[in-house]
A and B are shown apart, each in its own frame.
Chain A
Amino acid sequence: MLDIGYHERLMPSLRDGVHAYFRSNPVGVFVIDTEGCLRDVNDRACEIFGFGSPQEAEGKSLTSLEFFFSYPIVDRINGLMTNEESFKIHCFPGTNLRGHFAYYCLSCNRAVDDAGDAVSIFGIIEDVTDQVRRQEDLKNRVDELSILSQISQEVSSAIDTEEVLKVILTGVTARQGLGFNRAFLFLLDEESRMLVGRLAIGPTDAAEAGKIWSSLEKVDRSLTEILSLYQEESERSNRCLTDIIRDMRIDVTNGSIFARAIQDRAPLVTDYGQPLDHVSEKILQRLGERRVAMTPLVVRDRPIGLLLVDNNITHKEITDHDRQFLKLIADQTAAAVERSYLYRDLRERAVELERINRKLAETQNQIIEAEKMSVIGEITSAVAHELRNPLTIIGGFANLMHKNLEPGSSDAEYLNIIISETQRAESVLTDVLDFSKASKVKDRRLNLNEIVRQAHDMLSVRLGNGRSRMSLSLSERELPIWGNPDQMLHACYQILSTIIQDLLADVSPRVCTYGLPDAVRLEVCCPQAGRQQEKVEQTLAQYFGAGNSTKRLSLLVSEETLKHHGGILGVESNPEEGPVLYVQLPAYKETTDA
Chain B
Amino acid sequence: MPRLLVVDDETFIRMLYKKEFESEGYTVLTAATPDEAMAILKSDRPDVVILDIELGDENGLTMLNRMRREYRDCAVILNTAYSTYKSDFQTWLADAYLMKSSDMRPLKNQVRLLLEKGYCDQKQ
Contacts and interface: CB of A to CB of B under 8 A. Distances in A.
Nearest to A572: B89
B82 interface: yes
Contacts of A544: 87-89
Interface string A369-412: 00000000000010011001101111111111001000000000
A238 interface: no
Contacts of A568: 87
Given A399-B102, A569-B87, A385 B13 contact: no
B104 interface: yes
Interface in B47-104: 54, 59, 61-62, 81-84, 87-90, 99-104
Contacts of A423: 102-103
Contacts of A298: none
Given A399-B103, A400-B19, A393 B87 contact: no
A199 B103 CA distance: 85
B101 A426 contact: yes
Given A389-B81, A392-B101, A570 B87 contact: yes
Contacts of B17: 396
A310 interface: no
B13 A392 contact: yes
A interface, by DSSP: helix, strand, loop or mixed? helix
A552 B84 contact: yes
Given A393-B13, A546-B62, A546-B90, A559 B84 contact: yes
A545 interface: yes
A396 B16 CA distance: 7
B36 interface: no
A546 B61 contact: yes
A396 B83 contact: no
B77 to A, nearest CB: 14
A397 B16 contact: yes
A559 B86 CA distance: 11
Contacts of B100: 388-389, 392
B119 interface: no
A398 B102 contact: yes
A567 to B, nearest CB: 12
B83 to A, nearest CB: 7
B10 interface: yes
A208 to B, nearest CB: 80
B43 interface: no
A547 B57 CA distance: 10
Contact of A393 (B10, B62, B88): B10
A511 interface: no
B109 interface: no
A433 B83 contact: yes
Given A389-B81, A546-B62, A422 B102 contact: yes
A556 interface: yes
Contacts of B20: 396, 399-400
A419 interface: yes
Interface in A522-575: 544-547, 549, 552-553, 556, 559, 568-571
A416 to B, nearest CB: 13
Nearest to B59: A546
A256 to B, nearest CB: 66
B102 A546 contact: no
A470 B13 CA distance: 47
A419 B82 CA distance: 22
Contact of A403 (B12, B13, B23, B62): B23
15 contacts: A381-B82, A384-B82, A385-B81, A385-B82, A391-B102, A392-B100, A393-B13, A399-B103, A399-B104, A400-B20, A400-B23, A422-B102, A433-B83, A544-B89, A559-B84
Ranked nearest first, the 10 interchain pairs of A and B with the lowest CB-CB distance are: A395-B102, A388-B81, A546-B61, A396-B16, A393-B12, A385-B81, A392-B100, A422-B102, A396-B102, A392-B102
